[in-house]
Each structure stands twice: as structure tokens, then as C-alpha cells.
């Protein structure tokens, strides 16, 4: 039995997120259906995380087991031939039997794209949040830095079915940066892990800072243990991209 690791890129617009759900299209389901056809048996695919409905990925990492001896280049070609055109396998590699794309990850990077132009091209509308209204971008840039470090992100997390397990919502953010690039505001965040809707909620709060409805100190207040401020507002999924997943064995 082989353990195979793949890097996948996808346009999440027409999918209900990563995780298999009854009766709807998901990225995990699409991968498992294709691999099961190649294997001639049921194949389960593990992912590095559960992207939400409408969220995109430049480089999601996944892994699965196969008995089929198909060479990796041929496997990649077969998967891309069978997959929908909005999902593509970028890379394949043999992995250690124990490798798990989620539990072995040491860092992930997400990017959120805000379009500030007056008009949004119809060719961009699926991949940005169009916000042409006045914002104090300097205050937003300053506020984004407050999130760096190790904090309790309960106030930035949506309710999750696994909340009942009592798992910690403390995460370490290595970098949190908002920059202007032409007509776009780009928020890029790299951290040890992320909670449900966490990045979208961060962007939503940064927008409130830009509108003048919140001050930077209100972000610090949300990071205090025991904070009871409700999560949100949440920015739309279409502007969010999983950029990369990092592992300790990477050179």
C-alpha cells in the first residue's frame, strides 16, 4: 500500500467547501471519486484543512493510500483528465506511511483580496471582494499587526460542530500584513493553524476599523482570554485563498 501526497489547486466557487457533505459538490468528494475510479476501490483523501464553501486554494495539500502501482506522473495526468476543470493536481509525491497533511503541517498561509477600484471586472468578480467605498487603509494596516503572536482567537471563530470537544482556540500568528497592490488591498496571514471562518472574520473586523466603526484597541480586546465579543462580521468567501501549507521536512 502506497501513501501518496498531492498538491491541489482549485476554484472553490461552485463547491460547498473541502469536506464531503451529503448531496453537494465538494473538493474532497471530487478527488475521492476520481481516485476510486483509478484504484477500482474506495479511496479516502485526507486534506490539510477544511476550506469553506466558495474559498479557493492555490496549493492545498492532500494524501491518500493506493495499491495501484501507477507511476506518479501518470497518476497526475489521469487525475487531471478525470477531474473537473476547476480542480487541478499540481504535484504528486510518495510519502511516509505516517504522513498526515493536517496533523504534520507546521504553518499555513492565507490571502484575502479586496478590490478597491470603482468597477469590478466580470472576470475578477469570483476572486475578490469588491469594496469601492471609503476606508482608512492606514488604520487597517496598523490594526492587522496587532494579531501577530500567540492569542486566543475564540472571538474570531465561527461556531463549529467540534466545539463540544473543548479544544483550544489558541493559535500562533507568525505574520499578519495588509498591503496595497494597485487597485487591491491584500491581507496575508501566516499561522500555526486557523479556526472556522477565522481569516474571513479577521478581514471583516479590519474593514470595520477602516470604516471607523472600531479602533485598533478593539482588536486587542478580542484577543483576551475569556472575551465574549461575538465573532464577525465575516467577509465573503470569494476573496479568500489558501496560498500554501508548510511541513518540517521541506528544504
Distance between CA atoms of 153 and 156, rounded to whole angstroms? 5
**Residue 182: alpha-carbon gap to chain centroid:** 24
Distance between CA atoms of 12 and 30, rounded to whole angstroms? 12
- Is cis: bond before 233, omega within 30 of 0? yes
Whether 231 and 158 have beta carbons less than 8 Å apart is answered as yes
Question: Among all chains, which residue has been given the C-alpha cell 476554484?
Answer: 11
Distance between CA atoms of 56 and 45, rounded to whole angstroms? 18
- Report the candidate in 227, 245, 204 with the shortest Cα–Cα distance to residue 151: 227
Catalytically annotated residue among 52, 136, 160, 183: 52
- Phi/psi region, residue 79 (left: phi>0; alpha: psi -120 to 50; beta: rest), is alpha
First CA to last CA distance, the chain: 26
Using the CB atoms, write b or e for 125-135: b if 16+ within 10 Å. Answer: eebbbbbeeeb
Would you call 86 a catalytic residue per the annotation? no
Backbone angles phi, psi at 117, to 5 degrees: -65, 160
**Angle (CA) 78 80 86, round 5°:** 160
Catalytic center residues: 52
Amino acid at each position: 500500500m502506497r501513501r501518496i501526497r498531492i498538491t491541489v489547486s482549485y476554484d472553490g466557487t461552485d463547491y460547498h467547501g473541502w469536506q464531503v457533505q451529503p448531496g453537494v459538490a465538494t473538493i474532497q468528494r471530487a478527488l475521492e471519486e476520481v481516485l476510486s475510479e483509478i484504484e477500482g476501490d474506495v479511496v479516502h483523501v485526507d486534506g490539510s484543512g477544511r476550506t469553506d464553501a466558495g474559498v479557493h486554494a492555490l496549493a492545498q495539500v492532500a494524501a491518500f493510500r493506493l495499491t495501484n502501482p501507477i507511476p506518479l506522473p501518470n497518476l497526475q495526468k489521469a487525475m487531471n483528465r478525470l477531474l473537473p476543470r476547476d480542480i487541478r493536481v499540481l504535484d504528486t509525491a510518495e510519502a511516509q506511511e505516517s504522513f498526515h497533511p493536517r496533523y504534520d503541517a507546521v504553518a499555513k498561509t492565507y490571502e484575502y483580496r479586496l478590490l478597491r477600484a470603482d468597477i469590478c471586472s466580470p472576470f475578477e468578480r469570483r476572486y475578490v471582494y469588491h469594496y469601492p467605498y471609503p476606508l482608512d487603509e492606514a488604520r487597517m494596516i496598523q490594526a492587522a499587526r496587532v494579531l501577530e503572536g500567540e492569542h486566543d482567537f475564540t472571538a474570531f471563530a465561527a461556531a463549529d460542530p467540534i466545539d463540544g470537544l473543548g479544544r483550544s482556540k489558541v493559535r500562533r500568528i507568525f505574520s499578519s500584513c495588509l498591503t496595497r497592490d494597485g487597485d487591491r488591498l491584500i491581507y496575508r496571514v501566516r499561522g500555526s493553524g486557523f479556526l472556522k471562518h477565522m481569516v474571513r472574520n479577521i478581514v471583516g473586523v479590519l474593514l470595520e476599523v477602516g470604516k471607523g466603526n472600531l479602533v485598533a484597541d478593539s482588536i486587542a480586546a478580542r484577543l483576551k482570554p475569556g472575551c465574549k465579543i461575538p465573532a464577525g462580521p465575516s467577509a465573503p468567501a470569494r476573496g479568500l485563498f489558501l496560498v500554501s501549507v508548510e511541513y518540517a521536512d521541506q528544504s
